[in-house]
Structure 1
């Protein structure tokens, strides 16, 4: 089960290789920012506390070299890992399943393009209809079921206004733009239920467009597809 909880300060637990990489990059960038902030604070304190000044220094070649080369090195240390992750997020390598997600005001339509006729709408379950163990404003009447540990390709678009299909624990966030087909990929690295929401303001009921992805074993996924196709 992957969702945010009250007073949470960090990210949700990673449930895909890309999200694990994003968490590592976050820690890497945060460490660099902490070191920079510490150095700047130390310099400020030294300037405040010292009583020695030299008003006759007009330039310093050494200082200019340091404040040119050091920021360049820092930018490289931040840019190289981020470029690698961007490449991983855009890479589509032999997906086992392709699902089309179409945003509406205010629900999602899912179409499993590998299975003819497997298409359904996914609406938020209202509070009075919630079953025990379900979550208010997060659960849907139909979940998007996928096989775990399999590459999934998402084709994301919208029918009316701009939406955004986002599941934080899977490291996926892609705009759903009317008239345009965007692509995203993920691999659910463990079994579970992963919650997300529309992440682009799309009207009065924007807050009521949850996304629920359920990762199951391949055998259970095949049974689910047979059940959905027979209905």
Structure 2
């Protein structure tokens, strides 16, 4: 596969991530148009043997290049504010999952079920099989049902961590003594990988996150077997 295919975002697995990718493409289109236009104007001015008086001493052109950037900023700000609101909104969660960052692993607690909590450590390289990812797989995956609103409550036991899963568009700091929350919904089954995104010490790079998205029936079977 060509190298350039790895330069973009991961494939989205939640409505929030779809909106983030759309917003990114929206901004990149605007920036491309601006760069093209400004480059053309610079080339036009510099290619002339004399300084273009119309470009330097004209009230009309000054009004244009003051008004147009203001309009462009409005087209950037409105979808940005809308997206910030959506990222912060928690709508009637079906499941609440609590995670606590430690040096250097994550612990999870399913608050809606009894006796369902576990620690999640990175799988050592010597224990990986041919289907596993080095530095990304864990011994206990976080299983969640798809098409279900999930509320994440995030904290830390020692230093600041950051719970991040790019495919879900989720990134929230885990701060000792404080509860942060975020919300997401996974819209397809699969395995989604993340890592701690806050420099939290010597083994910061060994705090992976693995979300396993399943059907509701499979999730309930997993809950039953895990709670025994």
Match of 2:43 in 1: 45
Q: Would you say 1:20 and 2:18 are equivalent positions? A: yes
Where in structure 2 are the equivalents of 1:212-231 lying within 5 Å? 212-230=210-228
User: What value does the CA root-mean-square deviation take over the aligned residues?
Assistant: 1.7
What is residue 173 of structure 2 aligned with on the other side? 175
Equivalent residue for 2:161, pick from 147, 160, 163: 163
User: Counterparts of 1:209 and 1:121 in 2: how far apart (Å)?
Assistant: 11
Aligned length, in residue pairs: 226
Structure 1 runs, 4 residues or longer, greater than 6 Å off: 55-58
Question: What SS is found at the alignment partner of 2:202?
Answer: coil
Instruction: State the 1:44 CA deviation.
Output: 1.3
Q: Structure 1 residues 133 and 64 mapped into 2: Cα distance closer, same or farther (>3 Å)?
A: same
Counterpart Cα distance in 2 of 1:77 and 1:180: 35
TM-aligned CA deviation for residue 58 of structure 1: 7.4
Looking at structure 1, the residues matched to 185 and 44 of structure 2 have their Cα atoms a distance apart, in angstroms, of 50
User: 1:10-41, CA deviations, whole angstroms, 9 ceiling, x for partnerless residues?
Assistant: 11000000000111111100000000111111
Distance 1:65 1:162 in 2: 48
User: Aligned residue for 1:151?
Assistant: 149
Partner of 2:116: 118
Instruction: Give, in angstroms, the shift of residue 57 of structure 1.
Output: 8.9
For 2:112 and 2:118, the matched residues in 1 are separated by 14
Q: TM-score, normalised by structure 1?
A: 0.93
Partners of 2:3 and 2:74 lie apart in 1 by 36
